[in-house]
């Protein structure tokens, strides 16, 4: 499985840290990212069923995510190399593995977060999306020029996250709903 780095919160230094020795400077809060550790099909935010053992993996415990290499919406035509995870578009969000963060109601308006994957090989093979209903969709004229099929409108709520995509404080206060999948299966030599 590919490694996933923790949720990182970024604040202006003057607001985040009191004036003290560098070894004492820490953020006043910690992000709590939860996945389906116990493999029961849900992510538990209120109890500890998915927080116990979340830092270890075994054959019977630890979250899993799969490649999204099907063609759910028939958008690929006859291109046999095309599949749902071929681009950064959420063609089949229902097949993504869920990830959630515990809400952080007391963070500053200036707080932002990123979700990153530090390993470059893993980064190019993993897709992470943020469920962001009500966001303003950027119009991509190139898609219109190329006459590419577009995903269903209900999928517009999912935002593909690059390593440096900022997530605003209002979303952090609510708690994040994320989805993760991979672009392909693991193959020898790749």
pLDDT at 14: 33
Sorted by sequence, the CB contacts under 8 Å of residue 82 that are 6+ apart come out as 71, 75, 76
Give the residue extent of every domain in the chain: 65-156
Who wins on pLDDT, 25 or 167?
Answer: 167
8 A C-beta contact, residue 107 and residue 169: yes
Instruction: Record the pTM.
Output: 0.75
Q: How confident is the model at residue 139 (pLDDT cuts 50, 70, 90)?
A: low
Residue 23: pLDDT band with limits 50, 70, 90: very low
pLDDT of 1 > 90? The answer is: no
Least Cα distance to 181 among 122, 141, 132 occurs for 122
Q: Say whether pLDDT at 185 is over 50.
A: yes
- The gap from C-alpha 73 to its chain's centroid, in whole angstroms, comes to 22
């Amino acid at each position: 499985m590919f490694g996933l780095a923790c949720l990182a919160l970024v604040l202006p230094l003057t607001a985040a840290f009191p004036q003290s020795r560098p070894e004492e400077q820490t953020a006043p809060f910690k992000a709590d990212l939860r996945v389906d550790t116990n493999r029961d099909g849900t992510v538990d935010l209120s109890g500890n069923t998915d927080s116990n053992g979340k830092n270890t993996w075994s054959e019977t415990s630890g979250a899993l995510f799969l490649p999204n290499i099907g063609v759910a919406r028939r958008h690929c035509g006859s291109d046999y190399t095309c599949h749902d995870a071929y681009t950064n578009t959420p063609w089949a969000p229902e097949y993504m593995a869920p990830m959630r963060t515990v809400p952080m109601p007391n963070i500053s308006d200036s707080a932002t977060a990123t979700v990153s994957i530090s390993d470059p090989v893993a980064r190019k093979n993993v897709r992470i999306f943020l469920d962001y209903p009500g966001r303003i969709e950027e119009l991509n004229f190139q898609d219109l020029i190329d006459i590419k099929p577009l995903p269903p409108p209900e999928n517009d709520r999912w935002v593909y996250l690059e390593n440096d995509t900022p997530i605003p404080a209002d979303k952090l206060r609510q708690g994040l709903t994320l989805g993760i999948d991979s672009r392909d299966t693991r193959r020898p030599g790749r």
